[in-house]
């Protein structure tokens, strides 16, 4: 079981380019697993963790409803945003500057084989990170991601999640609003959930947040929960 996780910060990168790169890494891991099974070899599978910030983009998951995008093609262009239908779970979400996006592309057989546990651990990584900024993140039953003030009229989402897994290999991941322009969320029904607001760390704290520092805390909590070593 390989517990080493290769960390790559891609900086600001186009969504489609990053998606293609994810698919490449995902296929690499799956191919090794198929080879191990067919040839009865025992080659080690690598694990990756990508950090990225995307230019303005809306993505719709497999179970998503197009009506949750409230913009026409022309309006998308006017806002300098792109749109993709993708192969993760979940509905529609927004990615853009000021948001920390994390894509763990890992072989869960190196850690544990439980997708439900994997999603809960991803949420816990963000909850633990937010706690270091005195922001109390929680789960909302039946709604993957991290929320604030669940069960009140002021419930708001601070981190969206959507993953794909095959042969226990994961891709896609989470998007934490740190210094994001929340106005872009007005153009969608986020995650297909009507009447729920979104927020960001800088709105909650009333100041711009150091994104490099947040990334370091995410890595710390991910390595603790998954008992992995980053390189």
Is 159 annotated as catalytic? no
Q: Are 222 and 228 in contact (CB under 8 A)?
A: yes
Residue 89 annotated in ligand binding: yes
Q: Which of 108, 191, 214, 218 is catalytic?
A: 191
DSSP summary character for residue 1: -
Residue 160 annotated in ligand binding: yes
Q: Are 157 and 146 in contact (CB under 8 A)?
A: yes
Residues 6 or more apart whose Cβ sits within 8 Å of residue 211: 98, 100, 178, 179
The token pair that represents 143 in the structure block:
């709604």
Residue 165 annotated in ligand binding: no
Residues 6 or more apart whose Cβ sits within 8 Å of residue 8: 48, 49, 50, 51
Residue 173 annotated in ligand binding: yes
Residue 175 annotated in ligand binding: yes
Distance CA 118, CA 29 (A): 18
Residue 20 annotated in ligand binding: no
Distance CA 149, CA 156 (A): 7
Residue 167 annotated in ligand binding: no
Q: Which residue has the tokens 């998503």?
A: 64
Residue 161 annotated in ligand binding: yes
Residue 91 annotated in ligand binding: yes
Q: Are 54 and 83 in contact (CB under 8 A)?
A: no
Residue 88 annotated in ligand binding: yes
Catalytic residues: 191
Binding site for substrate, by residue number, is 88-95, 160-162, 173-175
């Amino acid at each position: 079981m390989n517990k080493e996780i290769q960390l790559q910060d891609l900086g600001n990168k186009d969504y489609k380019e990053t998606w293609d790169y994810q698919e490449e890494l995902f296929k690499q891991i799956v191919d090794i697993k198929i080879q191990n099974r067919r040839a009865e070899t025992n080659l080690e599978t690598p694990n990756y963790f990508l950090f990225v910030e995307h230019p303005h983009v809306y993505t719709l998951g497999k179970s998503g409803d197009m009506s949750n995008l409230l913009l026409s093609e022309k309006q998308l262009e006017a806002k300098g945003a792109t749109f993709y239908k993708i192969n993760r779970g979940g509905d529609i979400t927004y990615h853009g500057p000021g948001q920390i996006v994390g894509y763990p592309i890992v072989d869960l057989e190196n850690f544990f084989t439980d997708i439900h546990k994997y999603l809960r651990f991803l949420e816990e990584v963000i909850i633990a990170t937010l706690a270091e900024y005195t922001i109390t993140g929680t789960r909302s039953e039946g709604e993957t991601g991290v929320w604030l003030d669940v069960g009140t009229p002021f419930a708001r989402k601070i981190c969206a999640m959507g993953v794909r897994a095959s042969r226990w290999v994961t891709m896609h991941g989470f998007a934490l609003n740190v210094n994001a322009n929340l106005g872009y969320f007005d153009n969608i029904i986020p995650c297909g959930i009507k009447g729920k607001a979104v927020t960001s760390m800088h709105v909650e704290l009333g100041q711009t947040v150091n994104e490099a520092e947040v990334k370091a805390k995410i890595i710390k909590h991910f390595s603790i929960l998954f008992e992995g070593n980053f390189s």
